[in-house]
């Protein structure tokens, strides 16, 4: 049935199989490259549109270094001036990183948040994407509210039986607020601890980035 | 064996999930909801049909001693194609299934059919065999997904029919084992009654 398993035959056969497979993959890659980029782009744009107020034109992408870590963000403008920033920040939850896109308006209010990726327990921590929890961060002024779960003396209702996820979510929002401060003031106040991504202490009084235990 | 028989045997007699208990890893991991189970089944079906055809066509030219590496490369190529296509056109499903798509490469159903059927039979027969086994797998995964979603989240295909939560454990890993075990019991009972 099959041809003889001589060294020459085996080498030639595997070589041929690999060449044909790679050629096929290269062709498919070339065809799907653009749709993949378009799909990624569409996803980013729709996330941005959910977290910031109405804007005109295309969001401008940029990165900023805060506490030795690089954060990417998008600036959206209306009538020629920036109305908000969509900042990507993450924090370690129960099942891995919880990655958020946090929209902050130019008057330093969290407009909305959206979860970009998370691997929390289904039915428990994964509920952080649901409005019951996530809507607490809608129009939240970090200067007015204490950014911690109620158990830690804060103002945020944690998800039942998912305090770790809730803390991670809050931490990510806090980090985004700290990143916002750097974007706006242009200087790193040292509010973000690079190692943990946690907000340690706010410099200016009344900034509201409370210490998170 | 007729073509029709080749297709139907994968559904009941050689159902990869309920009879042969093959490919348990994706079965247990991806069936948290009906739509996830269905998409995973269809993804495997696609790879299974194409790899079966490619392997049955090339088998006479592949030396026996290197057949497994050769099959793996062929299967991996189809899986990667599927991955790129899904990423481009169904990004949402791609994101939920994520890791389990590349893992189809080492799915024992795919390699099992290559070894047990495709390298001994013609291209058309192999395609029918792949189609049959693939449909059987898709059916099993969808059924398991429906059961787990109904009990765990109180919905089916995303349509909620009870308010609030279901029995949470069915969405988690232990529930996958429980639901699968009971489905196998029912499946065996039914097929035994038919004398198969």
B96-121 pLDDT per residue, tens: 787 788 888 888 899 999 988 898 88
C-alpha distance from A46 to closest chain B C-alpha (Å) = 13
Q: Containing H/E element for B4?
A: helix B3-9
Q: For a pLDDT cut of 70, what percent of chain B falls above it? A: 97
Interface ipTM > 0.90: no
**Interface touch A123/B69, C-beta < 8 Å:** no
**A62–B contact, CB cutoff 8 A:** no
- Residue A154 CA to residue A166 CA, distance in Å, equals 12
- Helix, strand, or coil here: B158? coil
Q: Is A13 domain-assigned?
A: no
**Tens digits of per-residue pLDDT, A48-95?**
888 888 887 778 888 888 877 888 888 888 887 888 889 999 899 888
Residues B79, B47 contacting (CB under 8 angstroms) = yes
User: Which chain B residue has the Cα nearest residue A119?
Assistant: B96
pLDDT tens column, A159-172: 888 889 999 999 99
Residue A148, φ and ψ in degrees, nearest 5: -160, 160
The total of structural domains in chain A comes to 1
Alpha carbon of B175: minimum distance to chain A alpha carbons (Å): 12
Q: Do B168 and A123 touch (CB under 8 A)?
A: yes
Q: Is residue A188 part of a domain?
A: yes
Please check whether residue A71 lies inside any domain of the structure.
yes
Q: Which residue of A has its CA nearest to B121?
A: A1
User: Inter-chain contact A43–B91, Cβ cutoff 8 Å?
Assistant: yes
* Tens-digit pLDDT profile for residues B52-96: 999 999 988 889 888 899 999 999 999 999 999 998 888 888 877
d(CA B146, CA B137): 14
Q: Is residue A22 part of a domain?
A: no
Structural domain of A78: 52-203
**Spatial CB neighbours of B92, under 8 Å, sequence gap ≥ 6:** none
Question: Residue A206: what pLDDT?
Answer: 35
Q: What percent of chain A has pLDDT over 90?
A: 21
pLDDT at position B76, please?
94
A46 assigned to some structural domain: no
A10 touches chain B (CB under 8 A): yes
Give this prediction's pTM. 0.75
For residue B128, pLDDT over 60 is answered with yes
Smallest CA-to-CA distance from B19 within B11, B28, B27 is with B11
Is residue A174 helix, strand or coil?
helix
Query: Residue B194: what are its φ and ψ, rounded to 5°?
Result: -85, 0
């Amino acid at each position: 049935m099959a041809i003889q398993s001589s060294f020459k035959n085996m080498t030639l056969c595997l070589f041929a199989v690999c060449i044909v497979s790679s050629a096929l993959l290269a062709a498919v890659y070339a065809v799907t490259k653009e749709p993949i980029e378009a799909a990624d782009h569409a996803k980013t744009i729709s996330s941005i549109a959910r977290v910031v107020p109405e804007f005109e034109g295309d969001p401008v992408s940029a990165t900023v270094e805060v506490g030795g870590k690089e954060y990417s963000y998008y600036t959206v403008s209306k009538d020629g001036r920036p109305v908000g920033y969509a900042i990507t920040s993450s924090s370690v939850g129960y099942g891995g990183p919880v990655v958020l896109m946090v929209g902050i308006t130019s008057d330093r209010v969290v407009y909305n948040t959206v979860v970009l990726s998370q691997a929390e327990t289904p039915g428990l921590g994964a509920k952080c994407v649901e409005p019951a929890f996530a809507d607490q961060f809608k129009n939240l002024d970090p200067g007015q509210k204490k950014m911690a779960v109620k158990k830690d003396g804060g103002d945020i209702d944690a998800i039942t039986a998912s305090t770790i996820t809730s803390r991670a979510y809050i931490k990510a929002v806090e980090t985004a607020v700290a990143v916002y401060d750097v974007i706006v003031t242009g200087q790193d106040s040292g509010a973000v601890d690079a190692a943990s991504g946690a907000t340690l202490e706010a410099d200016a009084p009344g900034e509201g980035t409370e210490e998170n235990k | 064996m007729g073509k029709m028989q080749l297709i139907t045997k994968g559904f009941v007699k050689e159902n990869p999930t309920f009879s042969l208990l093959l490919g348990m890893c994706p079965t247990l991991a991806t069936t948290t909801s009906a739509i996830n189970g269905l998409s995973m089944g269809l993804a495997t079906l696609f790879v299974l049909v194409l790899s079966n055809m490619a392997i049955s066509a090339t088998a006479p030219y592949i030396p026996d001693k290197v057949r497994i590496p050769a099959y793996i490369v062929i299967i991996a190529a189809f899986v990667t194609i599927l991955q790129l296509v899904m990423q481009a056109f169904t990004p949402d499903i791609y994101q939920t299934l994520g890791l389990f798509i590349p893992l189809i490469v080492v799915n024992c159903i795919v390699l099992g059919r290559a070894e047990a059927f495709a390298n001994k039979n013609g291209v058309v027969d192999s395609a029918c065999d792949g189609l049959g086994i693939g449909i059987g797998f898709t059916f099993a995964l969808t059924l398991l997904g429906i059961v787990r979603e109904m009990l765990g989240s109180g919905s089916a295909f995303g349509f909620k029919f009870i308010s609030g939560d279901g029995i949470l454990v069915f969405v988690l890993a232990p529930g996958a084992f429980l639901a699968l075990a009971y489905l196998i019991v029912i499946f065996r009972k039914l097929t035994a009654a038919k004398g198969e």
